[in-house]
């Protein structure tokens, strides 16, 4: 069986099996074993992919498979992966795997919770493997919809409001996407049958007037979920209301669908318009980067802090993509992965801390390092990765982006780059502020001494994420090369000015 | 000739860090201390071996001992990790491992009763690893990586007593200020690499092999000058040069051995090392940038020396003294030429770096021994300690003499070289440097006399002499402080790689010694026995004195800028803007949609009579329009 | 033979009947009255059928048949409607049309 189909099948089968599970124990066991299997599959996929490449297979996408769904409209179930997709799939597998462990103690409607969570993951996997715009969009929606239930039912705080806001804003983005996708579908000058296949469309030419209309639609459509300023406001509310695993998956993976889509759909299919209009979005993303960072500095709720810092970091992803060259795009993908691991780690830890302190306001906490050394050290490591410490993943990603951005010689790009680079200082400020207030200082209350130590499933979740961060941070070459090799097709179409 | 083994100089501390870090809480404290110490001990041995092997071979060429590609950016730019051996990096290896070893040994005694002993040694090993990695970097980017690692280990160690709010604040301040400087460093690296097409020092230190387009200018200076100025900004941040110095005095919140290692001997001189590393580039392409280096150095050395005269915290006095001495080194680099005898400043600067590491570390360790005995940092609560701690007293005196530049101690030789280099190039700066030489002697002996002589203070517990584990490391350093000056430094290290014959410039030497003796004399008169004359003098200086005690209000200025302007006037309004404008706009959209739907909903009232009215009026309209309009 | 009443007269009567029914349907709140108004409209239509049959197509019987059908259906309708009204009255003690909003929200 094709390994990519297995990637969609395993979660699907897991949900089916889960229907028959009765107790919480059984549900957890099924979910955990299914996702462990999935993680192994992804590692095998990575291994096979690298093997194929080492063996000299130069095809753009590997492990392809194609089934016609609706031949007369040119819709077919085409799947295949390149280096970027492999990396993103691996990220998804790690995050969902740790997400299961982070939500080990969900009591309320646990079966439905895990089913929705895994359905969401299925959507994400489908999104990354599909080569057909229609199927891609289908899976995109499949990933977005369960989010509404997950936040609306299992969330906290103003959860209905947050769920509604998040879903509506993402749906707004989807609406633009549909128009954009159909626009590309109908205006590409294909001979004979029209097609939704991305690779086939990539070889066609869309008239420039049409590109100018549809590029902003596609870019904003994907940009909404990638937290593009000013369409990012769903993120703080959504993340702060969502349950732990959902925040992890959402910030860790779902927000990356935006960057991935911008790169592989918007820019790949509409390169000329991308060249022409990148400056508008560059302004927005530069604002995003520094604005998100500055807004983080004054937040007091841990989840808000992480949500706003995600705005800043994801802004950097889109910023790098808009630099429209190979180096910065490599950096963008690295940043997606790095931020995915980092932010998942943060949300997992926030959930774990919250389950003990019952508050997320940093001014009400302090001195956690003494009572919860393991979780605190994990938090510090996450923080250091976030502020770009060498040896952890954030550094690799950020530096690749900055070097790439510096390849442009004109003043506009220089200024934008320097604005983006200066965010590293602000990042350090807010990370150290949180670390200082939350973990260091005297212990805030007597009750802290009774906190349970980190449990085994919490350790699994955090350690696997930190392992990911460390592996990328210490040996980035293979990953960066894998991504870089896949970017040729996209970047070569861009005419740099 | 192979230098493959040098990799272990770096790896051993790193391994010690990993073992102590992972085994935190499981390994007994004593053992973790010894793991780290033995690791650094072997590194020290290997460094000496490297130095011996390197300097006995005839050539002073750059040797790439190890090299591996770590990350590839594009076709031209890539980050290598490797080990570059050349005179200055080998010299730094020796300095760092020696001081590290001494401090590790000392810490075994000093930190004995602290909790988190294993954590302490893990961080200390991490620091040694990063600092060693920094100096042997083969390229700018590797240097930047280890630069950041050094910064974070400094952060972790300053914040070692993490339940003490002042320590946490100091750690945060140190990291953020240096991070801000690193921003400049990073942008500078990006600019240099963009124009040079490489990060490698092998190429960058041979300016003749580079083709910079100096045509591109920005605000009157060529872009390469800007780039090098920005890189210097990074160095100034780490080396606590004005105006980025504010973190260093606060960094004294860390344990004293940490201050000795990081904030006196090694990390803070990274900026000097950086400028020295890129010196050929500075000299060839950006003389303006070098002038800036000299100016900042001269200003800082005076500025810090003046403040040091007014402080009462023993470690802060030493911190300002460190700043002042680093300013000296920067000044020497800034005025240096490149070839032959012109390059004296370069040699002198690094020579001073070398000797300063010994005596400043000794001063800090001595201060640690004192603090350990009297449990306070405030020198006003000390006095007459020479009776209680005779050995510490002698060692401290040696260090004071060395820093004051009294022959035959190490400081005399290096300071003399700096002064003659400055004299040859820039008379005004020479005036400042000579004045600072006197000031240095004054404030060091002010400290010495207050602490060891002065009034006989009553102590709650009678201070006792330190145990051997504290004294032996100090004795080692004292030997270094005494003898290091006799090393013919110019033979090994010079700007152009050729041996530089340096002899003592007697007229200048005599001037500086006289100045130093004057400073000591004044201190002796003021502080040997308690007297009121210092207060009178202080009063006569008026506002200058008060502002010097307040460190010229630079801290307050920073707080105004960060807290008052950036936090209150930028970040807060921004967060408000996000919630109340952008988010409110989105909510407004939703509310508008809702409102419209409420309005329209009235049509669908469910009242059958309303439907009927609409239905009938509709029919009537259609019928009438058919009859009358559409005839 | 008496002179025939002109068609116009007959139509005027039925039109008046119809609009009285319409008026009643729109203004009355009582469901029974509304039902009676509907009957009035239906009967106006019935009369129209008979009149047109008589005046325009004499000798044919289609109009009459239509009327008979309508009468039958109206009877059935009234039966169903009144059954609903009775049930409604039992439930909410009222047959006011504006109070019947249980299914609305």
Residue A61 CA, chain-centre distance (Å), reads: 21
Q: Does B607 touch chain C (CB under 8 A)?
A: yes
Query: Is position C103 within any domain?
Result: no
Integer angstrom CA distances of residue B584 from A234, A299, B63 = 11, 18, 62
Q: How crowded is residue A451: how many other Cβ atoms within 10 Å of its Cβ?
A: 15
CA distance A273 to A210: 9
The structural domains of chain A, with segments of one domain joined by +, span: 3-496
Which of A 284-313 lie inside 8 A of B, CB atoms? 291, 294-295, 297-299
Q: Does A268 touch chain B (CB under 8 A)?
A: no
Which of A 437-476 lie inside 8 A of B, CB atoms? 439-443, 476
Name residue, tokens 């004299």. Answer: B423
CA distance A420 to A426: 10
Integer angstrom CA distances of residue B101 from B98, B128, B150, B361, B531 = 5, 10, 17, 12, 41
Query: In the prediction, which pLDDT does B45 show?
Result: 92
Structure letter (DSSP) for residue B74 = S
Q: Does C97 touch chain B (CB under 8 A)?
A: yes
> Quick one: closest CA in A to B142, which residue?
A390
* DSSP letter string, A358-370: S--BGGG---HHH
Per-residue burial over B399-427, b if 16 or more Cβ lie within 10 Å, else e, is bbbbbbbbbebbbbbbbbbbbbbbbbbbe
Phi, psi of B26 (to 5 degrees): -100, -35
Query: In the prediction, which pLDDT does B214 show?
Result: 58
Query: In the prediction, which pLDDT does C1 show?
Result: 45
Query: In the prediction, which pLDDT does B598 show?
Result: 85
B183:A400 CB<8 A: no
Phi, psi of B161 (to 5 degrees): -85, 75
Q: Does B598 touch chain C (CB under 8 A)?
A: no
Query: In the prediction, which pLDDT does A497 show?
Result: 38
C22:B616 CB<8 A: yes
Which of C 5-64 lie inside 8 A of B, CB atoms? 22, 25-27, 34
Q: How crowded is residue A140: how many other Cβ atoms within 10 Å of its Cβ?
A: 25
pLDDT above 60 for A11: yes
A406 within 8 A of B75, measured Cβ to Cβ: no
Asked whether the CA dihedral B412, B417, B423, B426 is positive or negative, the reply is negative
Query: Is position C61 within any domain?
Result: yes
* DSSP letter string, chain C: -PPPPPHHHHHHHHHHHHHHHHHHHHH--BHHHHHHHHHHHHHHHHHHHHHHHHHHSTT--HHHHHHHHHHHHHHHHHHHHHHHHHHHHHHHS--BGGG--TTT-
What the block records as the tokens of B424 is 């040859």
Residue A66, H or E segment: strand A62-70
Boundaries of domain holding C14: 2-93
Residue A434 CA, chain-centre distance (Å), reads: 23
Name residue, tokens 């029974």. Answer: C32
Query: Is chain A touching chain B, with at least 3 CB–CB pairs below 8 Å?
Result: yes
- ∠ CA A405-A408-A414, nearest 5°, is 70
One-letter-per-residue 3-state SS of B166-207: HHHHHHHHHHHHHHHHHHHHHHHHHHHHHHHCCCEHHHHCCH
Q: Does A200 touch chain B (CB under 8 A)?
A: no
> Quick one: closest CA in B to C96, which residue?
B607
What the block records as the tokens of B246 is 């504010």
Residue B458, exposed/middle/buried by CB under 10 A (0-12, 13-18, 19+)?
A: exposed
B183:A403 CB<8 A: no
CA distance A400 to A335: 9
> What distance in Å separates residue C71's CA from the closest CA in chain B?
22
The number of domains in chain C is: 1
C97:B612 CB<8 A: no
Using pLDDT thresholds of 50, 70 and 90, give the confidence band for residue C24: very high
- Chain A CB contacts of B168 under 8 Å are 436, 440-441
- Chain B CB contacts of C98 under 8 Å are 607
* Number of B–C residue contacts, CB under 8 Å: 17
Nearest to A314 by CA among A351, A340, A277, A346: A340
pTM of the model: 0.86
Q: Which among C26, C34, C104 has the least Cβ separation from residue B613?
A: C26
Using one digit for the tens of pLDDT, what is the confidence trace for C28-74? 888 899 999 999 999 999 999 998 888 888 888 888 899 999 999 99
B280 HSE (CA, 13 A, CB side):
16
pLDDT average, residue stretch A488-493? 77
> Could you give the 3-state DSSP secondary structure of residue A439?
helix
CA distance A428 to A383: 9
A428:B176 CB<8 A: yes
Query: In the prediction, which pLDDT does B216 show?
Result: 65
Q: Does B604 touch chain C (CB under 8 A)?
A: no
Q: How far apart are the first and last CA of chain A?
A: 45
Using pLDDT thresholds of 50, 70 and 90, give the confidence band for residue A449: confident
> What distance in Å separates residue B572's CA from the closest CA in chain C?
45
> Could you give the 3-state DSSP secondary structure of residue A284?
helix
Residue B426 CA, chain-centre distance (Å), reads: 27
Query: Is position C99 within any domain?
Result: no
Using only C-alpha atoms, chain B has a radius of gyration, in whole angstroms, of 31
Q: Give every residue of chain B whose pLDDT is below 70, as ranges.
A: 1, 58, 209-220, 456-457, 502, 530-534, 630-631
CA distance B430 to B323: 18
Residue A213, exposed/middle/buried by CB under 10 A (0-12, 13-18, 19+)?
A: middle
Query: In the prediction, which pLDDT does C82 show?
Result: 93
Query: Is position C85 within any domain?
Result: yes
> Quick one: closest CA in C to B614, which residue?
C26
Phi, psi of A204 (to 5 degrees): -90, 170
Query: In the prediction, which pLDDT does A345 show?
Result: 92
- Chain B CB contacts of A409 under 8 Å are 194
Nearest to A282 by CA among A252, A305, A262, A308: A262
Query: In the prediction, which pLDDT does B42 show?
Result: 92
CA distance C83 to C75: 12
ipTM of the complex, rounded to two decimals: 0.89
Instruction: Tell me the CATH number at C18.
Output: 1.10.287.3510
B18 HSE (CA, 13 A, CB side):
6
Using pLDDT thresholds of 50, 70 and 90, give the confidence band for residue A146: confident
A226 within 8 A of A314, measured Cβ to Cβ: yes
Q: Does C84 touch chain B (CB under 8 A)?
A: no
Asked whether the CA dihedral A108, A111, A115, A118 is positive or negative, the reply is positive
Q: Does C2 touch chain B (CB under 8 A)?
A: no
B616:C104 CB<8 A: no
B609:C97 CB<8 A: yes
Residue C11, exposed/middle/buried by CB under 10 A (0-12, 13-18, 19+)?
A: middle
Query: In the prediction, which pLDDT does C103 show?
Result: 66
* DSSP letter string, B340-407: GGGGHHHHHHHHHHHHHHHHHHHHHHHHHHHHHHH---BGGG---HHHH-HHHHHHHHHHHHHHHT-T
C104:B606 CB<8 A: yes
- Chain B CB contacts of C101 under 8 Å are 606
A428:B77 CB<8 A: no
C98:B607 CB<8 A: yes
> What distance in Å separates residue C34's CA from the closest CA in chain B?
10
C97:B607 CB<8 A: yes
* DSSP letter string, A405-425: HTT--SHHHHHHHHHHHHHHH
Q: Does A369 touch chain B (CB under 8 A)?
A: yes
Name residue, tokens 């988190």. Answer: B116
> Quick one: closest CA in B to A294, which residue?
B571
Structure letter (DSSP) for residue A301 = B
Using one digit for the tens of pLDDT, what is the confidence trace for A346-397? 999 998 888 888 888 888 888 888 888 888 889 999 999 998 888 898 899 9
Which of B 185-204 lie inside 8 A of A, CB atoms? 186-187, 190-191, 193-194
Q: State the chains in contact with C (3 or more Cβ–Cβ pairs under 8 Å).
A: B
CA distance B23 to A370: 17
CA distance B458 to B202: 60
- Mutation target to probe the A interface, by most A beta carbons within 10 A, among B129, B133, B151, B190 is B190
CA distance C75 to B395: 122
CA distance A294 to A430: 8
Integer angstrom CA distances of residue A156 from A162, A168, A332 = 10, 19, 32
> Quick one: closest CA in A to B190, which residue?
A403
CA distance B103 to B260: 7
Integer angstrom CA distances of residue B63 from A493, B209, B630, C96 = 43, 18, 100, 102
Q: Which among B606, B607, B612 has the least Cβ separation from residue C25?
A: B612
CA distance A350 to A379: 9
> What distance in Å separates residue A349's CA from the closest CA in chain B?
19
> How much of chain A is in helix, strand and coil states, percent to nearest 5?
75, 5, 20
Using one digit for the tens of pLDDT, what is the confidence trace for A306-334? 988 998 999 999 999 888 888 888 999 99
Using one digit for the tens of pLDDT, what is the confidence trace for C3-17? 677 888 889 999 999
């Amino acid at each position: 069986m094709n390994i990519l189909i297995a990637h969609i099948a395993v979660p699907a089968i897991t949900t089916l099996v889960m229907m028959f599970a009765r107790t919480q124990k059984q549900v957890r066991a099924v979910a955990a074993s299914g996702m462990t299997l999935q993680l192994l599959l992804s590692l095998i996929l990575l291994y096979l992919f690298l093997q194929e490449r080492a063996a000299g297979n130069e095809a753009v996408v590997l492990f392809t498979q194609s089934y016609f769904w609706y031949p007369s409209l040119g819709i077919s179930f085409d799947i295949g992966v390149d280096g970027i997709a492999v990396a993103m799939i691996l990220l998804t597998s790690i995050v969902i795997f740790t997400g299961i462990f982070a939500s080990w103690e969900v009591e309320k409607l646990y079966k439905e919770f895990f089913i929705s969570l895994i359905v969401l993951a299925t959507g994400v996997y489908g999104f990354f493997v599909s080569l057909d715009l229609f199927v891609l969009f289908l899976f995109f929606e499949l990933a977005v919809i369960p989010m509404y239930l997950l936040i609306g039912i299992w969330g906290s705080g103003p959860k209905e409001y947050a769920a509604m806001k998040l879903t509506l804003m993402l749906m707004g983005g989807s609406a633009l996407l549909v128009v954009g996708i159909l626009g590309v579908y109908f205006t590409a000058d294909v001979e004979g049958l029209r097609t939704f296949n991305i690779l086939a469309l990539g070889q066609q030419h869309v008239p420039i007037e049409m590109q100018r209309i549809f590029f902003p639609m596609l870019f904003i459509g994907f940009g909404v979920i990638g937290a593009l300023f000013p369409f990012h406001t769903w993120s703080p509310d959504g993340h702060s209301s969502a349950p732990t695993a959902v925040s992890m998956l959402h910030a860790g993976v779902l927000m990356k669908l935006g960057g991935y889509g911008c790169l592989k759909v918007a820019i790949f299919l509409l390169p000329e318009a991308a060249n022409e209009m990148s400056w508008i979005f560059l302004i927005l993303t530069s604002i995003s980067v520094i604005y998100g960072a500055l807004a983080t500095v004054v937040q007091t709720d841990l989840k808000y802090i992480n949500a706003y810092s995600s705005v800043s970091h994801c802004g950097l992803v889109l910023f790098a993509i808009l630099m429209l060259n190979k180096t910065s795009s490599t950096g963008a993908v690295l940043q997606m992965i790095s931020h995915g691991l980092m932010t998942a780690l943060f949300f997992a830890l926030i959930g774990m801390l919250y389950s003990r302190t019952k508050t997320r306001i940093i001014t009400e906490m302090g001195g956690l390092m003494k009572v919860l050394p393991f979780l605190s050290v994990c938090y510090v490591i996450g923080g250091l990765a976030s502020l770009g410490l060498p040896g952890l993943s954030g550094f690799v990603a950020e530096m690749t982006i900055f070097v790439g951005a510096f390849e442009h010689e004109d003043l506009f790009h220089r200024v934008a780059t320097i604005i983006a680079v200066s965010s590293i200082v602000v990042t350090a400020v807010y990370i150290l502020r949180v670390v200082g207030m939350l973990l260091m200082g005297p212990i805030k209350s007597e009750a802290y001494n009774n906190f349970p130590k980190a449990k085994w499933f919490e350790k699994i979740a955090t350690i696997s994420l930190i392992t990911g961060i460390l592996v990328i941070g210490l040996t980035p070459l293979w990953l960066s090369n894998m991504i870089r090799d896949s970017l040729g097709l996209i970047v070569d179409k861009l005419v740099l000015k | 000739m192979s230098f493959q083994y040098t990799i272990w100089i770096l790896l051993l501390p790193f391994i010690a860090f990993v073992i102590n870090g992972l085994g935190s809480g499981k390994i007994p404290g004593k053992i973790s201390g010894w793991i780290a110490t033995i690791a650094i001990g072997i590194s020290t041995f290997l460094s000496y071996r490297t130095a011996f092997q390197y300097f006995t071979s005839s050539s002073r060429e750059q040797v790439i001992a190890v090299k591996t590609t770590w990350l590839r950016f594009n076709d031209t730019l890539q980050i290598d990790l490797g080990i570059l051996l050349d005179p200055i990096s080998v010299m730094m290896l020796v300095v760092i491992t020696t001081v590290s070893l001494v401090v590790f040994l000392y810490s075994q005694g000093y930190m004995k009763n602290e909790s988190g002993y294993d954590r302490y040694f893990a961080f200390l090993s991490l620091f040694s690893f990063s600092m060693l990695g920094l100096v042997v970097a083969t390229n700018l980017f590797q240097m930047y990586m280890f630069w950041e690692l050094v910064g974070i280990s400094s952060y972790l160690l300053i914040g070692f007593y993490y339940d003490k709010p002042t320590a946490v604040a100091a750690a945060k301040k140190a990291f953020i200020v240096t991070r801000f400087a690193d921003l400049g460093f990073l942008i500078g690296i990006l600019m240099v690499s963009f124009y040079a097409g490489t990060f490698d020092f092998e190429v960058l230190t041979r300016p003749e092999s580079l083709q910079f387009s100096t045509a591109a200018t920005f605000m009157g200076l060529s872009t390469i000058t800007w780039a090098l100025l920005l890189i210097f900004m990074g160095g100034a941040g780490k080396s606590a040069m004005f105006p980025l110095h504010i973190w260093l005095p606060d960094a004294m919140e860390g344990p004293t051995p940490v201050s000795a290692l990081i904030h006196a001997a090694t990390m803070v001189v990274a900026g000097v090392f950086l400028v020295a590393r890129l010196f050929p580039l500075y000299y060839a392409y950006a003389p303006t940038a070098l002038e800036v280096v000299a100016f900042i150095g001269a200003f800082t050395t005076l500025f810090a020396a003046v403040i040091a005269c007014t402080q009462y915290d023993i470690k802060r006095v030493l911190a300002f003294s460190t700043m002042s001495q680093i300013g000296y080194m920067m000044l020497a680099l800034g005025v240096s030429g490149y070839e032959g005898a012109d390059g004296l400043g370069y040699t002198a600067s690094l020579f001073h770096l070398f000797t300063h590491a010994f005596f400043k570390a000794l001063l800090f360790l001595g201060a640690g021994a004192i603090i350990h005995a009297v449990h306070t940092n405030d020198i006003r609560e000390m006095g007459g300690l020479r009776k209680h701690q005779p050995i510490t007293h002698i060692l401290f005196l040696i260090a004071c003499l060395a820093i004051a530049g009294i022959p035959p101690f190490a400081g005399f030789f290096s300071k003399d070289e700096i002064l003659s280099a400055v004299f040859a190039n820039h008379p005004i700066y020479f005036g400042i440097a000579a004045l600072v030489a006197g000031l240095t002697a004054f404030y060091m002996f002010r400290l010495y006399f207050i602490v060891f002589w002065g009034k006989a203070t009553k102590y709650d517990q009678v201070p006792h002499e330190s145990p051997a584990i504290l004294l032996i490391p100090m004795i080692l350093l004292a030997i270094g402080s005494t003898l290091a000056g006799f090393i013919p430094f110019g033979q090994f290290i010079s700007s152009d790689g050729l041996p530089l014959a340096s002899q003592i410039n007697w007229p200048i030497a005599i001037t500086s010694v006289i100045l130093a003796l004057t400073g000591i004399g004044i201190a002796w008169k003021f502080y040997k026995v308690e007297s009121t004359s210092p207060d009178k003098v202080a009063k006569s200086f008026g506002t200058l004195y008060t502002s010097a005690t307040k460190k010229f209000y630079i801290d307050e200025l920073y707080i105004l800028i960060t807290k008052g302007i950036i936090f209150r006037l930028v970040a807060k309004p921004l967060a408000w803007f996000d919630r109340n404008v952008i988010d409110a706009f989105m909510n407004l959209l939703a509310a508008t949609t809702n409102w419209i739907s409420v309005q329209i909903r009235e049509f669908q009232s469910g009242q059958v009579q309303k439907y009927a009215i609409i239905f009938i009026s509709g029919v009537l309209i259609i019928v009438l329009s058919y009859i009358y309009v559409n005839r | 033979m008496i002179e025939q009443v002109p068609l116009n007269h007959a139509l005027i009567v039925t039109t008046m009947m119809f609009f009285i029914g319409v008026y009643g349907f729109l203004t009355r709140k009582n469901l029974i009255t509304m039902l009676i108004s509907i009957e009035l409209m239906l009967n106006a239509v019935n009369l129209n059928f008979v009149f047109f049959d008589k005046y325009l197509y004499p000798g044919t019987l289609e109009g009459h048949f239509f009327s008979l059908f309508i009468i039958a259906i109206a009877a059935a309708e009234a039966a169903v409607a009144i059954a609903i009204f009775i049930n409604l009255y039992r439930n909410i003690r009222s047959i006011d049309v504006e109070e019947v909003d249980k299914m609305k929200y």
